[in-house]
Amino acid sequence: MIRRAWLIVLLFGIHVLSGQQCDKTLVGKVIDFHDGVPLESAIIQYNNTIIKTDQDGGYRISGLCPTAYAFTISHENCNERVITLDMKEVTQNDFYLEHHYTDLDEVDLASSQNKVTNSQVEEKLSRKELDNYSNLSIGDALKEISGVTTLTSGNTIVKPVIQGVHSSRIIILNNGVRQEDQEWGEEHAPNMDINAFDQIKVIKGSGALQYGGNAIGGVIIAENKLTALRDTIFGKSQLAASDNGRGGAINSGVSIGLKNGWAGKIQGTAKYFGDSEAPDYVLSNTGHREQSFSAAFGRREFIYGVESYYSFYNATQGILRASHIGNVGDLVRAINNDFPLVINDFGYTIDAPRQETQHHLAKIKGYKRFKNFGKLNLQYSFQYNNRKEFDIRRGDDKDKPSLDLELITHSIESNFLFDSSDNFKKNVGFQFSYQTNTPNPDTGVRRLIPDYKKTGIGAFALTEFKVNDQLTLDAGLRYDFLNINAKKFYEKDFWEERGYDTGFEDLIIDEESDQWLTNPDFDYNSISVSGGLNYIYGNRNTLFFSVSVANRAPNPVELFSDGLHHSAAIIELGDLRFDQEQALKFSLGSEHNDFFDLGSLVISPYLSRIRNFILLEPTEVELTTRGAFPVWEYKQTDAVLYGIDIDYSIDVLESLKFNTGFSYVYGQDTIANEPLISIPAPSFRSEILWKDKRWIARLVNSTVLKQNRYPDNDFEIDIIENNILTTETVALSETPMAYTVFDVFGSYVFDLWQAKDLTIGASITNIFDASYRDYMNRQRFYADNVGRNITLNINFKF
C-alpha cells in the first residue's frame, strides 16, 4: 500500500502544468467492468482534488488545463486504477473498475478473506511465514497448518500429508501448473523450492474440481505473482546458515515493473548442507544440495494479460547410509539397535544411497476479459522431470543409478469465468495433458516404473450462487478421462503366478527369452461432483460445509510394480486389475473470528469414505539368495477416514498472541477391520508470539502423541543364535513413542537505507536436543530425528 501511494505521487509528477487556459471539462461515469453497473461513491483523485461519483456513477470535473492528467480512480473493495488522459483531446470518458479483487489474481497478503473456493476449508502461509523456512522445504513449512503433517525419508525428503492422505491423492500446483514429478513414491518429495513462491495455500478437501477430480486429500497451491506496480524495481536477498548440517542457503530475487505495464521477476536459490546430526550421533550421508532458479515475465492489465514462467530445480539428496539394507536380517539388526549400524564422521560428501532430481517447468498463460461477460484464461505448460536414484551397487555398476526416469508432461488448459453477475458466478473449463515416462534401460535394473504414455482430458463446470449476504452455495461437476498406455516386460513365471495369463493374454505383444513384453492400455472414466455452502452469521462467524465425490485412477506403481525394491529390501507387487479409488468426503468448517471475545476459533471436522482404497500390505515371505524378503502387495479395500482440525488463537496483549492447533485422524480398513497404516498420530502445535514494530519472537511447541492405531504387519524369520535355530519376530509395526519439541525464533528489523529493509533473525529448533523418532519418518527404524539446530538468518530488501 505504501508503495502504491508512492507510485501515485510519482505519476502525478509526470504531467507538467503550463500557463494555458484551464477551462476544460471532463464528464463520464465510473462503471463496474463486469456487469456494467455504474458505481456510486467512487473516488476520482487528481492533483489535490477529490471528486465522488453520484448515485448514477456519474461525475463532472471542470477547470482542467489542456494537458495530461493522471486520474486515480478507486472504489470500496476495488482495485485502484491510475489512468492518464490528455485533456487537449478528451472531454468525455468512462472509467471501468474491477471490483472482484480475488478474480484479478491480485493477492493481498495481509488479507485472510481471500479464498479460492467457497465452501472448502482453506489455510495459507504468506511469504513472511515462508521466510522462516528458506533453508528447508515446502513440506516443513506446511506443518504450521493444522491437519497438514509430513511423510519424510530423513530430514530433507519431505512430503506433505493432508488429513491423513498423501502422494498421488494430493494435487500440488506449482504456479498454476499441476506438478508432475513422480509424486506417487513415498520417498519422492515435490521438486520445488520454497523460495520461489510468495504464498502457499492448502485446500483441505477434494471439492476444488477446477484443479482435478482426483485430489482425494486436497490441493496445495504455491504461487508467485508478478508485481502489479509500475516503474519500480525491488528485490531481496536472504542468507541462512545452520549449525546442524553445517551449511546454509542463499536466495535472491528481483521484481521489476515497467512503466508500460510489463513486469518481470527472477529468483534463485542455492543450498548446501553436509550430514545432519541427531543428538547422539551423525546421520551419515544425509547431506543435500539444491539449486533452483525461476523467471517470469508478463503483463497484467485489467482486461488482458500474458505471462510466461520458467523454473528449474536441481537437487542431490543423501539418504541415511544406515537405512540401506540388504535383507530382513539387516532390518532386524537395525530395529534392535539403538544406534544406526553405520555412523561415520561428519562430512559433506553425498554417496549412495542418494537421489538426484531435476525439474524444469515452463508455461505461458494469457487472459482476456470481456465487458459485462467474464474472463477467459488459457495456459500451456511443459514439464520435464528426471529422477535418478542411486543404491549401493558393486563393480562396474557402482556409479550407475538403479532408477533413472524421465517424465515429460505437456498440458493445455482453459477456463472461462462468467462473473458478470456477482451473485451467480460460473466457471467452465477443460484440461488436456499428455505425459510420457521413459525409464533409462542403462541402469541394468528391471524397471520399477515402465515406459508409458498417459493422456488425460478433464472438463469441469462450477457455479457459485449467492442466495443473500449471508449464504453462498456452490456446486461443481467434472468429467475426467485417463488413458495409460504402457509397455512393460513381465517375467513369464511372474505373469502366470499373478494369474495374468487368463484375462490379460491380449496384452502380450512380444517375447524376449524368459520375459513377455506387454502393452497394458487402460482407460479410466470418472465423474466427480461437489457441493457446498458458506454461511456468514452473527459476530464474524462463518460456516463452511462441503460434500464431494472424487475419483483417482491407480498410479503406475500400484499397477505395475513387480519386484524387488532394492533400497527398501521389500518385494513390491502391483496389480493390473485395479479399479479407481472413489472417495466421498464431507467436510465442515466452523470459523469464529470473535469467539465470545476470547480470540478466534476454527473447528474443521471431516469424514471420508474411500471405496477401492489402494494400500500396500505384507502378505508372505519369499526366499531369495539374499535371504528372506517380505512380499508387500498392493491391494484394494474400503477405508474410512475421519478426523478434526482445531485452531485457536487469542491476542493476550496488543503485542502478545497465543496460537494453538490440534489435529486428529482416524483411519480404518473397513474390510479387514484393522487400522490403516501410516496415519499421522494426534498432534498439537502451540506458539506464543510476541510482536512489536521491530521485534518478533516466537516460542513454538510441537507435541506428537503415540499412534496407537496401526495394523499388525509383523512377521517372523528364523535366525541362528548360539548354534540354535530360533524364530524372531520382525517388529516393524510398533509405532514410536510420543515426543515434544520446542523451537524458538526471533528477529529484529533495522532501517538501513530504507525503512525496514534489513531483518536479522535467529532460530533454535529442538532446543533441548531431544532424541525422538517419528511414525511418519520412513527412517524411524534406523535412526533418531535431527537434534538441535541453530540457524542465523539475514534478510535484506531493496
- Residues forming contacts to other proteins in the complex (CB under 8 A) are 301, 303-304, 306, 308, 324-327, 329-330, 333, 341-342, 364, 366, 368, 378, 380, 382, 392-395, 397, 408, 410, 412, 434, 436, 439, 441, 443-447, 450-451, 453, 487, 489, 509-510, 512-513, 515, 517, 623-628, 719-725
Which secondary structure element, helix H or strand E, spans residue 556, and what is its range?
A: helix 556-560
CB nearer to other proteins: pick between 151 and 445: 445
Compute the distance between CA of residue 766 and CA of residue 740 in angstroms, rounded to an integer. Answer: 9
Give least dist CB 129 to other proteins, A.
34
CB of 411 to other proteins, least distance (A): 9
Question: What's phi and psi for 323, nearest 5 deg?
Answer: -90, -5
CB of 719 to other proteins, least distance (A): 8
CB of 204 to other proteins, least distance (A): 33
Task: Please state whether the peptide bond connecting residue 353 to the residue before it is cis, i.e. omega within 30 degrees of 0.
Answer: yes
User: Which is nearer to other proteins, 447 or 592 (by Cβ)?
Assistant: 447
User: Rounded to the nearest whole angstrom, what is the least distance from the CB of residue 788 to other proteins in the complex?
Assistant: 27
* Residue 130 or 331 having the CB closest to other proteins: 331
- Are β-strands 403-418 and 374-390 bridged in parallel, bridged antiparallel, or unpaired? antiparallel
> Which residue lies nearer to other proteins by CB, 325 or 696?
325
> Could you tell me if 75 and 43 are in contact, meaning their C-beta atoms sit under 8 angstroms apart?
yes
Residue number, 231 or 406, with CB nearest to other proteins: 406
Beta-carbon contacts of 120 under 8 Å, excluding residues fewer than 6 positions away, are 203, 204, 205, 207, 208, 532, 544, 546, 587, 589
**Residue 326 or residue 499: which is nearer to other proteins going by CB?**
326
Between 412 and 737, CB nearer to other proteins? 412
Specify the residue, 393 or 425, whose C-beta has the smaller distance to other proteins.
393
Task: Kindly tell me which of 237 and 308 has the beta carbon lying closer to other proteins.
Answer: 308
- CB-nearer residue toward other proteins: 9 or 724: 724
- Shortest Cβ 504–other proteins spacing (Å): 18
Q: Tell the smallest beta-carbon distance from residue 28 to other proteins (Å).
A: 22
Q: Which amino acid, 751?
A: D
Residues 212-251, buried b or exposed e (16+ Cβ, 10 A)? bbbbbbbbbbbbbbbbbbbebebebebbbbbebbbbbbbb
Minimum distance, C-beta of residue 767 to other proteins, in the bound complex (Å):
32
Strand (E) or helix (H) holding 478? strand 471-491
Q: How many residues does the chain have?
A: 798
Instruction: Round to whole Å and give the CA distance between 53 and 44.
Output: 8
Q: Cβ closer to other proteins: 63 or 395? A: 395
In the complex, the smallest distance separating the C-beta of residue 165 from other proteins, rounded to whole angstroms, is 32
Question: What would the 3-class secondary structure string for 89-151 be?
Answer: CCCECCEEECCCCHHHCCCCCCCCCCCCCCCCCEEEEEHHHHHCCCCCCHHHHHCCCCCEEEE
Cα–Cα distance, 498 to 506 (Å, whole number): 15
Closest CA to 190 of 126, 136, 253: 136
Query: Which residue shows C-alpha cell 529422477?
Result: 387
Least distance (Å) from other proteins to the CB of residue 478? 22
CA distance 170 to 200: 14
Rounded distance between C-alpha atoms, residue 646 and residue 2, angstroms = 35
| Nearest-angstrom CA–CA distance, 425 and 427 | 7
Q: Count CB neighbours of 141 within 10 A.
A: 22
Q: Which three cell numbers stand for residue 4?
A: 502504491
Helix residue ranges, H only, 296-423? 328-336
Shortest Å distance, C-beta 480 to other proteins: 19
